[in-house]
Amino acid sequence: MATLQRVIKNLYRDSVSLMQFSEKLRALDGIQQASAVMATENNISLLVEAGLLQGAVPPSPNDLLIVVEGREDSAVVTALDQVEAMLKQKSAEPAEGGVRRVPPSSIQMALESNPAANFVLISTPGEYAAAEARKALQLGLHVMMFSDNVSIEEEIPLKRYACDHDLLVMGPDCGTAIINGIPLGFANVVRRGDIGVVAASGTGLQQVTSLIDRLGGGITQAIGTGGHDLKSEVGGITMLQGIAALTADPATKVILLVSKPPSPDVMKNVLDTAARSGKPVVVEFIGADPAGITSGNITGVKTLEEAARASVLLSQGKPLKRFSKSLPARYKSLVAPAKKKLKKGQQYIRGLFSGGTFCYETVLLLSEALGKVYSNTPIRKEEKIPNVWKSLEHTVIDLGDDLFTQGRPHPMIDFRLRNERIVQEARDPETAVILLDIVLGYGSNMDPAGELLPAIQEARNVAAKAKRSLVFVGSVCGTESDPQSLSRQESLLAEAGVLLTDSNAQAARLAAAIVS
Amino acid sequence: MQIRAASIGEAVPAESFDAVIHSAFESAVNMRLMSEDRLITLLISDRYKLPQGIHVTQKDTPLQALEPGRLAACRGGILRFDTFPLSIDLRGAPVWKCGVAGLMMEMDLPSAQQAWSTAWDVLNRRQRRTNCDIIADDVFRLQAGSVLGQRISRPVLQLVASADAFDAGHSIQAAETMIGLGPGVTPSGDDILIGFLAGLWSLSGEHPKRHSFIRSFGEGVLQIAQRTNEISRTYLVHAARGQFSSALSALVENIGTGGDVEQAAQDAMRVGHSSGMDTVTGLLAGLAVWNAPTHPYPIHLHEGKPNSGKSYGHIATSD
């Protein structure tokens, strides 16, 4: 009888594998007993006790000890060699006839492993994105370019090539889309339905799709165009393609377009195409006069909330109503108690936004209600805030601006910058209302309320020390099906005393009413 | 390939760290943190969570391509691997915290005792069905059949008895003879100790004496943890701090709240080849400490089953 052992340094295999190896060893010809265990003091002592290990072996708990007992030395040595070779073999290697699967490192490779794919999401540094998009288009794939910092000179030929080949390029800088029910980028989990959206604004798209979901409607497709698409040079290629696609889609009953006002030539082209669609089209060109847009099958609206409401009414075959500019009663009742909390001198709104479109819509609505509103995305040049790091009178800041995101994640993900600013605003004796947007969905922080609450509390403490109170107003953009859960986030914020409205527009109006 | 972490355990550094791949398995990769000389685990699982775990749910995450020795670095919340196109976005991932230490379990409640008995039956059935070396029933009767079972039975009983008597010295002595004992990358002795600590932590409640005992025993376990391998040591270190896997936590909670104990026990036992079952064995032993009526061995005594012989604390064993 021969017994031999071998120690294999720093080798870890899961318990099931080790059991299987021991069993395989025992099944080998001429082998009576075998064991593969970690070389701990207690295991060595157990093997000695069991008579399987003759002399003491120095313990080395991170190593694997294989002990084999057989009829002859040669059989035992062969068995040990075999098991060592088996153990050292990478378990991934022999998976499919000796061919190891390598994760795809190019679009071409990915297409080979998934030949049915017809869509590519590109998220590389901007300098590489156009080249990757071109490769994808040449392979016959639709493209979503999440990447920004792609020049308009690169964007135009990509979009023209795509248009000529009946392909779609969403982006560059397209952060949000919902295609065939799949949220892409920063997007919410919304019900499927009969409203198709084309939007040049990421958070605008998130707001309308989330509100449509809240109102009981649903989405067929939500196509992002990227922020440059409606400029004269690009000509709205993707928006026009999007309208055409939704027109041809029998599941889409209503088309909704969202963008800042396009250049006049592009606006005419877009509205003409929308008119020819033969379907009801709701248009929210944020900041443009709805009356100048409404005509025939096209309904112009003033806010993202109105856009969602109008779309749902149309999809339900109900008549469109005139949307009121005043606060709904349920929010009006919040105004007087909030006003009571404020001391003399507390008179300004400080809006701290993570969504660019939310910020812009707020600036527009507050300007209408209050006059001058300073911002880094102002509607009038003279209201550009001189120092973005310090608020001045009514100030609304887009913290997603490049200036704030260089070297740090977007404020929808990373709340540190906004939290610091909340506390900073609390120190200003003129601050009355801190106005916030909270964006849920894929891509966003998994617990925005959890991130904000400590800062809100700290801000309240800072104000309380100066014998002041602060009013927090906000709206949560999201749905119950989002990973963060709308109701959970809203209840956490409401418990912390944040006055919540269903939409960004209502939040802006509530804030304005409190300081009016 | 960039994927988002579904959650991260409380013991995973928040933003930036450097690590080296320690070991790779089909659905888990262990990384040794360079600054702290401890392991964290990248794990593919939609349900199972670890205090030291970065959890991803994408099943085709190519973990096996991450060979030991390869460097990993996390900057600004994004974990990347040297010359391998995989990045894991940890930013915004919810932090999972094990709640066992704050449970304040009351094992003298009839519902908890019933739940304990259910878990015990499920455990023993599975151990027997899968021909385990360690069968919980046998361990507590000193009737274990396998060499390993016989070897582990006595220290387990000593552990229960000495813990019951708040005798940390003898508990550590018992743990010394169990540590690193048994097959697998987390040896059975270690698994039982981990489960046992989970039981103790869940009972610690607001009892200063229990807290003091667990702290002393935990310190002792940390001292002797060098005698087992690094992976198992990691679990022991977390156990000593009151941090356990989600599967084990869920079982403890279900026993305490009268939830679906059978399902929770099955989930907890499904870990590894026998690791899960060994851990549940330890857990149920731990839950029986300081709660005489539900003590596994006295249960049989109450039912008039035979026993005699040497006594460890108040527990009789057939020596």
Q: Map tokens 């990358």 to a residue.
A: B185
The amino acid occupying position A369 is A
Distance CA A109, CA A99 (A): 15
CB pairs under 8 A between A and B: 119
Q: Residue A349: is it exposed, middle or buried by C-beta count within 10 angstroms (0-12/13-18/19+)?
A: buried
Using a CB-CB cut-off of 8 Å, the residues of chain B touching A10 are: 68
Q: What is the DSSP letter of B98?
A: -
B229, A408: Cβ pair inside 8 Å?
no
pLDDT of residue B310: 33
Residue type, B49: K
Mean pLDDT on B179-199: 94
Of B151, B180, B185, the CB nearest to A14: B185
- Name the residue in chain B with its Cα closest to that of A446: B92
Residue B18 CA to residue B82 CA, distance in Å, equals 11
CB B150 within 8 A of CB B141: no
Beta carbons within 8 Å of A131's beta carbon, 6+ residues apart = none
Tokens of A326: 């005043």
- Cα–Cα distance for residue pair A127/A42, rounded to 1 Å: 59
Average pLDDT, chain B: 85
Cα(A423)–Cα(A420) distance, integer angstroms? 5
Burial of A33 (0-12, 13-18, 19+ CB in 10 A): middle
Tens of pLDDT, residue by residue over B113-162, are: 889 989 999 999 998 888 888 899 888 776 656 778 888 888 998 998 89
| Residues of chain B numbered 148-167 and touching chain A (CB < 8 Å) | 148, 151
Cα-based distances in Å from A322 to A177, A290, A446 = 29, 12, 37
Q: Inform me whether the pLDDT recorded for B319 exceeds 60.
A: no
pTM score: 0.55
Q: Write out chain B residues lying below 8 Å of A413, CB-based.
A: 91-92
Answer yes or no: do B226 and A445 touch at CB < 8 A.
no
Token output for B212: 């003091």
* String of DSSP letters for A4-43: EEEEETT----HHHHHHHHHHHHHSTTEEEEEEEEE-HHH
- Mutation site, B44, B59, B185, interface A, largest A CB count within 10 A: B185
What per-residue confidence (pLDDT) applies to A8?
A: 85
The complex's ipTM?
0.78
Q: Sort out which chain A residues have CB atoms less than 8 A from B85's CB and list them.
A: 103, 105
Chain A CB contacts of B93 under 8 Å are: 446
Q: In B, which residues are within 8 Å of A21 by CB distance?
A: none
Q: Which amino acid is at A45?
A: S
Mean pLDDT in runs of 10 for chain A (516 residues)? 83 73 79 84 84 80 87 85 75 38 72 80 86 91 90 95 94 94 94 97 96 97 96 96 97 97 94 97 96 96 97 95 86 96 96 96 97 94 94 96 76 92 97 98 93 96 97 97 94 96 97 96
Higher-scoring residue by pLDDT: B172, A42:
B172
Whole-number Cα distances in Å, B103 to A487, B24, B107, B242, B281:
27, 33, 11, 11, 19
Q: Indicate yes or no: CB of A61 within 8 angstroms of CB of B180.
A: yes
Residue B312 has pLDDT above 60, yes or no: no
Tens digits of per-residue pLDDT, B294-306? 555 444 433 333 3
Cβ–Cβ under 8 Å, residues B235 and B289: no
pLDDT at A341: 95
Question: B 199-258 residues with CB below 8 A of A?
Answer: 226-233
**B105 has a pLDDT exceeding 90:** no
A451: nearest CA in chain B? B92
CA B282, distance to chain mean position in Å, is 8
- The single-letter code of the amino acid at B109 is L
> Smallest Cβ distance to B76: which of A19, A38, A409?
A409
Q: What's the gap in Å between the CA of A366 and the closest CA on chain B?
A: 31
In the prediction, which pLDDT does A307 show? 97
Length of chain A: 516
The span from the CA of B150 to the CA of B138, in Å, is: 9
Judge contact between A229 and A238, C-beta under 8 A: yes
Determine, for residues B91 and A22 on separate chains, whether the beta-carbon distance falls below 8 Å.
no
Tell if the CB–CB gap between A46 and B181 is shorter than 8 Å.
yes
pLDDT number for residue A112: 72
Residue scoring higher pLDDT (B312 or B60): B60
Residue of B55, B97, B181, B274 to mutate, interface with A, max A Cβ within 10 Å: B181
pLDDT of residue A164: 93
Amino acid A255: pLDDT: 98
**pLDDT at residue B303 in the model:** 37
How many Cα atoms occupy the beta-carbon half-sphere of B109 within 13 Å? 11
Q: Is B302 on the interface with A (CB under 8 A)?
A: no
- Chain B residue numbers touching A22 (CB-CB < 8 A): 183
Q: Quickly tell me which residue has 């499920």 as its tokens.
A: B122
- CA–CA min distance A482, chain B (Å): 14
CA distance B284 to B120: 7
Classify burial at A101, counting beta carbons within 10 Å of its beta carbon; exposed 0-12, middle 13-18, buried 19 or more.
Answer: middle
Residues of A in contact with B92 (CB under 8 A): 413-414, 444-447
